[in-house]
Amino acid sequence: MTRAELFEQILGINEIRVERVDWQEQSIHIYRSSILEEAICPNCLQKRLVVNQTYERQFLDLPITGNEVYLHLSQR
């Protein structure tokens, strides 16, 4: 089992794939992306297959073994 697969099981979110995990001195950074093929347009609320732009959102999660955990989500 890879480190990414382990964190996918820990997070327990089926629609999210863990791309990579970076361990730093006092923090853990988990980079994730959606496995869904379509997204909802924030303006018209319609399902879209074509992605016009993506950006990364960062969330501070609960600590693991005293290390801060940052979740990075590539969002459409």
Other Cβ atoms less than 10 A from the Cβ of 31: the count is 19
Consecutive sets of 10 residues in the chain, 76 residues long: mean pLDDT of each?
71 77 90 78 78 82 88 81
Token pair recorded at residue 48? 């879209």
Residue 1: strand, helix, or coil: coil
Task: Report the pLDDT value the prediction gives residue 27, as an integer from 0 to 100.
Answer: 94
Task: Report the pLDDT value the prediction gives residue 68, as an integer from 0 to 100.
Answer: 93
Task: Report the pLDDT value the prediction gives residue 18, as an integer from 0 to 100.
Answer: 81
Concatenated DSSP letters of 9-51: HHHT-TTEEEEEEEE-SSEEEEEEEE--S-EE-TTT--EESS-
Cα–chain center distance at 35: 10
Task: Report the pLDDT value the prediction gives residue 26, as an integer from 0 to 100.
Answer: 93
32, burial (CB in 10 Å: exposed 0-12, middle 13-18, buried 19+): buried
Task: Report the pLDDT value the prediction gives residue 70, as an integer from 0 to 100.
Answer: 92
Task: Report the pLDDT value the prediction gives residue 74, as an integer from 0 to 100.
Answer: 81
